[in-house]
A and B are shown apart, each in its own frame.
Chain A
Amino acid sequence: DAGVTQSPTHLIKTRGQHVTLRCSPISGHKSVSWYQQVLGQGPQFIFQYYEKEERGRGNFPDRFSARQFPNYSSELNVNALLLGDSALYLCASSPGGGRRTQYFGPGTRLTVL
């Protein structure tokens, strides 16, 4: 079975622009979470969605938003990009329903110039 997939792999944007990152979970998984990993640090939790509803939100500004679609795929949107938004954005999926082990995708490397 295919693992978690993310697109694009790499992205270069300039300050003030908007970006959309996409994630497809493992087949059968209903929960998707997003994490930001700055170089040299552990991943930081941004959002979790389960059955299209937001189940958790980390300490990130309102410039960050996300949604989950009926097929359980997800998008992460970031508006008004700042240099500090440069990071690896990781998507993880889990089955849900109490089965909470998260499986991660390869990530999207975002560079803001």
Chain B
Amino acid sequence: AQKVTQAQTEISVVEKEDVTLDCVYETRDTTYYLFWYKQPPSGELVFLIRRNSFDEQNEISGRYSWNFQKSTSSFNFTITASQVVDSAVYFCALSEDSGAGSYQLTFGKGTKLSVIP
């Protein structure tokens, strides 16, 4: 069965500090997809990034960067020079390629990030 673990429940940083959110996953499939979503206080989940299991290239997008390592089953997310607007709950999620056309997402419990001015 697939599982996603976000060990950090809450993180507080001072504005402009860098912060890394950890995600460890478990799956028996060789083809799978990893996602990060952001949930601000309004409640709507906002898609940030998707990574395929066969693409280990790390990515930087503005202040965001992602580090995908299959060897350690980790997909970590770093925010550089954090801002107050980054305060939210961040979820890591996993989708296996079941072959039945199901896109079911398995989420971690989330990490609440508070950026203090």
Contacts and interface: CB of A to CB of B under 8 A. Distances in A.
Interface residues of B, number: 26
Interface stretch (A14-22, A48-56, A64-72, A77-85): A48-56
A98 B107 CA distance: 20
Given A101-B35, A104-B37, A104-B45, A48 B108 contact: no
Interface in B72-87: none
Contacts of B95: 100
Interface in B7-42: 33, 35, 37, 42
Contact of A56 (B91, B102, B107, B108): B102
Contacts of B101: 50, 55
Which among A40, A43, A90, A105 has the highest number of chain B CB atoms within 10 Å? A43
Contacts of A41: 109-110
A90 B81 CA distance: 31
B106 A102 contact: no
A108 B112 CA distance: 21
Contacts of B110: 41-42
In the A-B complex, the 10 residue pairs with the closest CB atoms: A42-B107, A56-B102, A104-B45, A100-B103, A106-B44, A45-B104, A55-B101, A56-B104, A55-B102, A42-B109
9 contacts: A41-B110, A42-B108, A45-B104, A55-B101, A56-B102, A90-B45, A100-B95, A102-B47, A104-B37
Given A43-B91, A94-B103, 11 more contacts: A41-B109, A42-B93, A42-B107, A42-B108, A42-B109, A43-B107, A48-B102, A55-B101, A56-B104, A102-B103, A102-B105
